[in-house]
Chain A
Amino acid sequence: MGQYFMFTILSIVTLVSAYQMVRVRLITHAALFMALAFTAVAGIFLMMQAEFVAAIQILVYAGAITTMVIFAIMLSGLADIKSERAKKGGLWTKSDPFVLVVGAVFAAFMSYLYVAAKLPQAKSDKAMASVEAIGRSLFTTYMIPFEIASILLLIAMVGAIILTAKEAEQE
């Protein structure tokens, strides 16, 4: 029962945050709601005994990405970027609650698939992989993707600099 309770709470937090992301006018608020959603998902990860993933989730998503987004918004100093005015007459104008409906429909559909597949109940209730096992795999089997990921990050960095640096040079 505890699991149900926990899951329900976390789910509600996640969904409400996501819904608020749609709704709120200020982007910064949306970013904060995003962090909240991420954190709630991290909670679910914890429930799944994926502590490592949960930790990374908090670090990378709730921490790094959210911070980055907010920084970017602040840095640009443009009013427009910070808030989003509701448009008149657009197809999507009054669609805020719709987001839940669409999400629900999609989820229902996927669930239908899962249920149709008659996914077997859990075969094992073993502990999830330890950080050590993850680390070991990461540096043996997954060495190549790991290295590529490093280059990916390098390029992301380079790219971000290239795309934004010009201004600095000139100023």
Chain B
Amino acid sequence: MTLPIYLPLGLGALLFGLGLWGALTRTNAVRILMFIEIMLNGVNLNLITFSRYYWQQNAESAARAPIITLFIMTVAAAEASVGLAIILNVVRNRGSVDVDKINLMKG
């Protein structure tokens, strides 16, 4: 690769940052969930980049990052399904997905 490593890493960080900001500012729970997925994508990009640039000593080490990514995706999927289930439940009981309105408990 001739591409400087900083570019993909930077993109990963950018994705993470964007996702973070989105997750923190949007009040729709579903949208927050989506931004979290974006953050995870940033992480994945980081992992693959590092792997691609440095950690290719053998088949074993080369396979490491993809596998980690695979697990992260699995988890993300599971998280998404459970998360959506929770959100749906909230919608059912409260009629809203606005996290600013979900404020029964505080202090």
Residue numbers of A with Cβ under 8 A of B are 3-4, 7, 11, 14-15, 18-19, 21-22, 27, 30-31, 34, 37-38, 41, 44-45, 48-50, 52-53, 56-57, 60-61, 64-65, 68-69, 72-73, 75-76, 78, 80-81, 84, 87, 92, 95, 98-100, 102-111, 114-115, 119-126, 128-130, 133-134, 136-138, 141-142, 145, 149, 152-153, 155-157, 159-160, 163-164, 167
Name the interface residues of B56-103: CB closer than 8 Å to any CB of A.
Answer: 56-57, 59-60, 62-67, 69-71, 73-82, 84-89, 91-92, 95-98, 100
Q: Please determine whether B25 and A106 come into contact, CB atoms closer than 8 angstroms.
A: no
- Contacts A37-B41, A102-B18, A163-B85 known; list 9 others, CB within 8 Å: A3-B3, A44-B8, A78-B96, A99-B18, A110-B9, A110-B13, A122-B54, A137-B59, A164-B88
Question: How far, in whole Å, are A50 and B47 apart by their CA atoms in the complex?
Answer: 11
Q: Please determine whether A99 and B76 come into contact, CB atoms closer than 8 angstroms.
A: no
Q: Please determine whether A115 and B17 come into contact, CB atoms closer than 8 angstroms.
A: no
Q: Please determine whether B53 and A129 come into contact, CB atoms closer than 8 angstroms.
A: no
Q: How large is the interface on B (under 10, 10 to 19, 20 to 34, 35 or more residues)?
A: 35 or more
22 CB-based A-B contacts, threshold 8 Å: A30-B34, A37-B15, A50-B48, A50-B69, A53-B48, A75-B88, A81-B30, A84-B98, A87-B100, A95-B25, A102-B21, A103-B18, A109-B13, A111-B6, A122-B1, A128-B56, A134-B66, A134-B70, A137-B59, A137-B60, A142-B67, A163-B82
